[in-house]
Amino acid sequence: MTSPFSLEGKTIIVTGASSGIGRQCAISCSHMGAKVMCIGRNEQRLQDTLAHLAGDGHAAYSYDLSQTHGIAGLVADIVAAHGKLDGLLCAAGIERTAPIKLLTVQDYAEIMQVNTFSAFELARHATAMKHFNRGGAVVLIASITATIARTGTAAYSASKGALISAARVMAAELAKRQIRVNCISPGTILTPLMQNALAQMSDEDRARRVAGFPLGLGEPADVANAAVYLLSEASRWVTGQNLIVDGGFTIQ
Ligand X SMILES: NC(=O)c1ccc[n+]([C@@H]2O[C@H](COP(=O)([O-])OP(=O)(O)OC[C@H]3O[C@@H](n4cnc5c(N)ncnc54)[C@H](O)[C@@H]3O)[C@@H](O)[C@H]2O)c1
Contacts with ligand X, residue ranges (CB under 6 A): 16, 18-22, 40-42, 64-66, 91-95, 114, 141, 143, 186, 188-189, 191-194
Q: Is 229 annotated in the active site?
A: no
Residue closer to ligand X (CB basis): 34 or 39: 39
CA distances from 172 to 26, 167, 216, 228 (A): 27, 9, 35, 21
SS3 243: strand
| DSSP β-bridge partners for residue 15 | 39, 90
Min dist. Cβ of residue 216 to ligand X (A): 13
Q: Contact 44/92 with Cβ under 8 angstroms? A: no
Distance CA 39, CA 119 (A): 12
SS3 219: coil
Distance CA 207, CA 202 (A): 9
Q: Contact 22/189 with Cβ under 8 angstroms? A: no
Min dist. Cβ of residue 207 to ligand X (A): 17
Catalytic residue among 61, 63, 156, 229: 156
Q: Is 74 exposed, middle or buried (0-12, 13-18, 19+ CB in 10 A)?
A: buried
Residue closer to ligand X (CB basis): 21 or 138: 21
Helix or strand (DSSP H, E) at 184: strand 180-186
Dihedral over alpha carbons 64, 65, 69, 75 (to 10 degrees): 100
Min dist. Cβ of residue 173 to ligand X (A): 23
Residue closer to ligand X (CB basis): 41 or 84: 41
Q: At what angle do helices 192-200 and 20-31 cross, to 10 degrees?
A: 150
Min dist. Cβ of residue 19 to ligand X (A): 4
Min dist. Cβ of residue 203 to ligand X (A): 19
Residue closer to ligand X (CB basis): 136 or 220: 220
Residue closer to ligand X (CB basis): 6 or 98: 98
Q: Contact 46/60 with Cβ under 8 angstroms? A: yes
Q: Catalytic positions, please?
A: 156
